Amino acid sequence: MPHINLKKDEFHWWFTHSDQIQNTALIKAYHQMINAEEEERRVKFRFERHRHQHLVTRALVRTTLSHYVNDIAPQNWKFVKNQYGRPDICPSMNLPSLKFNLSHTENLICCGVCLDNEMGVDVENVERISATLDISKRFFSANEYTDLLKVPKHLQKQYFFYYWTLKEAYIKAKGKGIHIPLDQFSYDLKTKDKISVNFDASLGDDPQDWQFMLINIDQKYRSALAINRGKTENMKVDIREVVPLDSEKDLNYRIIAQ
Ligand SMILES: CC(C)(COP(=O)(O)OP(=O)(O)OC[C@H]1O[C@@H](n2cnc3c(N)ncnc32)[C@H](O)[C@@H]1OP(=O)(O)O)[C@@H](O)C(=O)NCCC(=O)NCCS
């Protein structure tokens, strides 16, 4: 089995600002690493900015994975999707422990990577949605909605996105997406810097097994992580900004709670 440059207690969170990638040589190189199915999906997007985002997403996941397994080139990764659409590394690559999850919003893409654990990430552009209370009333748990109403008005939108990204991160970690009813688990963000969760018995999950994190990436983006690390210490989280095939640096983010 190929060697993986990642420790069991590490979670790596890679971000890329896709709108900042305009270098034609890089874009050409990204085109050369995607497969026919990815290209087929790419050309179906109506707008160029979405085709670009799709291309950069593929480049991000492929180059990120090659970062951990040096002898597999970005163009050689193969993926499979589960019945709910979650892509994972194809079993034929013989890397069952290497896990990743992707999220993208207007101009920002993230890819989380860890070993073995169920994990999901979400990133959202806070300028995208305004009907926050209507959406939360419809989709969040009753407690989350009630708590959100108590948040001072000027912070409500910010908190809405904290709940939203955390909820998305959990359903993505489970791999089932919106097939998990969003009111069957409920976050409590009332204690400063701390994220607590309650799961409906039907989900069969223990809050003690889960680690969550919320970060702000400038004014425009909120991002969340959910990871089922079991009864071990919290994972070490490393957050980086990258331009696939080019540069890597520390991202300017702020941890809100975990
Ligand atoms: C599909 C879903 C998993 C994520 O949707 P999203 O938030 O629109 O999209 P994101 O950018 O965060 O994630 C998309 C990526 O997640 C991955 N993904 C797809 N299905 C997935 C699943 N079942 N589980 C985990 N990851 C999945 C894919 O890599 C996908 O990107 P790709 O198609 O470019 O490969 C699902 O949760 C969904 O449809 N959500 C709808 C939003 C909603 O109603 N949210 C209510 C919030 S409270």
Question: Which residues sit opposite 214 in a β-bridge?
Answer: 224, 257
**pLDDT reported for residue 2:** 78
Confidence of residue 239 (pLDDT cuts 50, 70, 90): very high
Is 151 in contact with 166 (CB distance < 8 Å)?
Answer: no
Phi and psi, residue 123, nearest 5°: -130, 135
Ligand 1 binding pocket includes 102 (Cβ within 6 Å):
yes
Ligand 1 binding pocket includes 104 (Cβ within 6 Å):
yes
Assess whether pLDDT exceeds 90 at residue 255: yes
- Over residues 41-58, the pLDDT tens digits come to 999 999 999 999 999 999
Ligand 1 binding pocket includes 52 (Cβ within 6 Å):
no
Ligand 1 binding pocket includes 101 (Cβ within 6 Å):
yes
Report the C-alpha gap between 11 and 8 in whole angstroms.
8
- C-alpha of residue 178 to centroid of ligand 1, in Å: 8
**pLDDT reported for residue 164:** 96
Phi and psi, residue 109, nearest 5°: -125, 140
Atom of ligand 1 lying closest to residue 176 CA: 23
- C-alpha of residue 174 to centroid of ligand 1, in Å: 11
Mean pLDDT of the region 133-158 = 94
- Over residues 187-224, the pLDDT tens digits come to 999 999 999 999 999 999 999 999 999 999 988 999 99
Ligand 1 binding pocket includes 168 (Cβ within 6 Å):
yes
Confidence of residue 132 (pLDDT cuts 50, 70, 90): confident
* Residues with Cβ within 8 Å of residue 59, at least 6 apart in sequence: 29, 30, 33, 34, 74, 244, 245
Tokens of 178: 């919106």
The structural domains of the chain, ordered by start, are 10-257 (3.90.470.20)
pTM, entire model: 0.96
Protein residue with its CA nearest to atom 9 in ligand 1: 103
- C-alpha of residue 204 to centroid of ligand 1, in Å: 22
Assess whether pLDDT exceeds 80 at residue 160: yes
- Over residues 241-253, the pLDDT tens digits come to 999 999 888 898 9
- C-alpha of residue 126 to centroid of ligand 1, in Å: 17
Protein residue with its CA nearest to atom 40 in ligand 1: 178
Report the C-alpha gap between 68 and 4 in whole angstroms.
5
Ligand 1 binding pocket includes 45 (Cβ within 6 Å):
no
Question: Which residues sit opposite 9 in a β-bridge?
Answer: none
Confidence of residue 130 (pLDDT cuts 50, 70, 90): confident
Mean pLDDT of the region 77-91 = 97
- C-alpha of residue 165 to centroid of ligand 1, in Å: 11
Assess whether pLDDT exceeds 90 at residue 129: no
Assess whether pLDDT exceeds 90 at residue 138: yes
Proportion of the chain above pLDDT 70, given as a percent: 100
- C-alpha of residue 166 to centroid of ligand 1, in Å: 13
Tokens of 67: 């970062």
Ligand 1 binding pocket includes 86 (Cβ within 6 Å):
yes
**pLDDT reported for residue 117:** 96
Ligand 1 binding pocket includes 175 (Cβ within 6 Å):
yes
**pLDDT reported for residue 3:** 86
Report the C-alpha gap between 124 and 144 in whole angstroms.
19
Report the C-alpha gap between 2 and 109 in whole angstroms.
27
**pLDDT reported for residue 128:** 81
- C-alpha of residue 177 to centroid of ligand 1, in Å: 6
Assess whether pLDDT exceeds 80 at residue 167: yes
Assess whether pLDDT exceeds 90 at residue 93: yes
